[in-house]
Amino acid sequence: MTKKVTFLALATAVCFAGCQEQNKETEADNATEPVRAGNTQIVDLTHSFSEETVYWVTAKEFELEVVAKGQTDNGYYYSANNFATAEHGGTHIDAPIHFAEGRHTVEEIPLEKLIGEAIKVDVSKNALNNPDYLVSVEDFLEWEKKEGKQIPDGSIVLLHTGFASYYPDKVRYMGTSLRGFEAVKLLHFPGLDPEAATWLVKNRNIKSIGIDTPSIDYGQSKDFQSHVILLSENIPAFENLTNLDQLPSKGFEVVALPMKIKEGTGAPLRAVAILKN
């Protein structure tokens, strides 16, 4: 009896410690609060990779295989996993080669295209209730009017549609939970109007672009022209970003570093924003 009680107490203590540990991990995974670092704030723009991660409907989903997890016979704890993923899923980068022959592969993208001053164009008011919303030239001109200046040369441009708030609910986030080629025509989410992509590359000088939806082209796109226009100019695209609601419209930096896959057309991305003051 005594033995049983002791065992139960021990089990509870272990569970308590374990549960606390687990809660801590869950909080970190879904961190939405900026992290303070000196006089800057860091906002994580990245969704965690897990079995919930949203992938393009024809792409292989994320897999995590536990190789080891627990105490070893030699007296230390050891854990290790294998993972498998398509290049294009979750928070990831589209390297220019994805839609433009002869342009940069992932490891060829110059680092300065992935790090630097950024702006946010907030279209969530119009996009949240219109899953076929196209970010337009007018949206960029409105940003410029409000800020009293042109989109600065060398900017990283983030498009905030608000759709990250639906993630990882696939029906709300991308229009369907079905998968495979048949599901492509069921996709509905906002993207960048090809006309606006053309305007950006002809009239402004941006380094890279990002969006909080599965693709820089909207869900109903048939020919992915915004991809073609931007990537042809060696402008990489970040997709499935999150927490853009926590960013101001200007005055912050983005660091968006992909896994350095040789000859990769895309790669999982860890993207953060650094806010001054």
Write the CB contacts of 160 (distance below 8 Å, at least 6 apart in sequence). 120, 121, 122, 123, 124, 212, 244, 245, 247
Provide, rounded to whole angstroms, the least separation between the CB of residue 242 and Zn ion. 15
Start-to-end CA span in the chain (Å): 60
Residue nearest to Zn ion (CB): 88
Binding mask 35-74 for Zn ion (x = CB under 5 A): ----------------------------------------
> 223 to 242, contacts with Zn ion by CB under 5 A?
239
Choose, by CB under 5 A, the member of 88, 113, 160, 170 that binds Zn ion. Answer: 88
Closest CA to 96 of 238, 265, 214, 221: 265
Residues in binding contact with Zn ion, number by CB under 5 A: 4
Alpha-carbon distances, residue 277 vs 39, 42, 166, 272, 274 (angstroms):
5, 11, 30, 16, 10
Provide, rounded to whole angstroms, the least separation between the CB of residue 93 and Zn ion. 7
Binding mask 138-157 for Zn ion (x = CB under 5 A): --------------------
Cα–Cα distance measured from residue 99 to residue 227, given in angstroms and rounded to the nearest whole number: 6
Nearer to Zn ion, 131 or 266 (CB): 266
Nearer to Zn ion, 34 or 207 (CB): 207
Give residue for tokens 């627990």: 70
Angle value at C-alpha 225, between 180 and 179, nearest 5 degrees: 10
Distance of CA 27 to the CA centre of its chain: 18
> 112 to 141, contacts with Zn ion by CB under 5 A?
none
- Establish if 217 lies at the interface with Zn ion (CB under 5 A): no
Cα–Cα distance measured from residue 277 to residue 273, given in angstroms and rounded to the nearest whole number: 13
Provide, rounded to whole angstroms, the least separation between the CB of residue 271 and Zn ion. 13
Provide, rounded to whole angstroms, the least separation between the CB of residue 101 and Zn ion. 17
Provide, rounded to whole angstroms, the least separation between the CB of residue 107 and Zn ion. 16
Nearer to Zn ion, 240 or 243 (CB): 240
Write the CB contacts of 9 (distance below 8 Å, at least 6 apart in sequence). none
Report the SS3 class of residue 170.
helix
Provide, rounded to whole angstroms, the least separation between the CB of residue 239 and Zn ion. 5
Closest CA to 238 of 213, 259, 209, 261: 209
Provide, rounded to whole angstroms, the least separation between the CB of residue 181 and Zn ion. 17
Provide, rounded to whole angstroms, the least separation between the CB of residue 88 and Zn ion. 4
Q: Which window, 17-25, 105-113, 164-172, 265-273, contacts Zn ion (CB under 5 A)?
A: 265-273
Nearer to Zn ion, 92 or 143 (CB): 92
Cα–Cα distance measured from residue 253 to residue 262, given in angstroms and rounded to the nearest whole number: 26
Nearer to Zn ion, 34 or 190 (CB): 190
Angle value at C-alpha 224, between 93 and 109, nearest 5 degrees: 30
- Establish if 94 lies at the interface with Zn ion (CB under 5 A): yes
- Establish if 160 lies at the interface with Zn ion (CB under 5 A): no
> Which residues are at the interface with Zn ion (CB under 5 A)?
88, 94, 239, 266
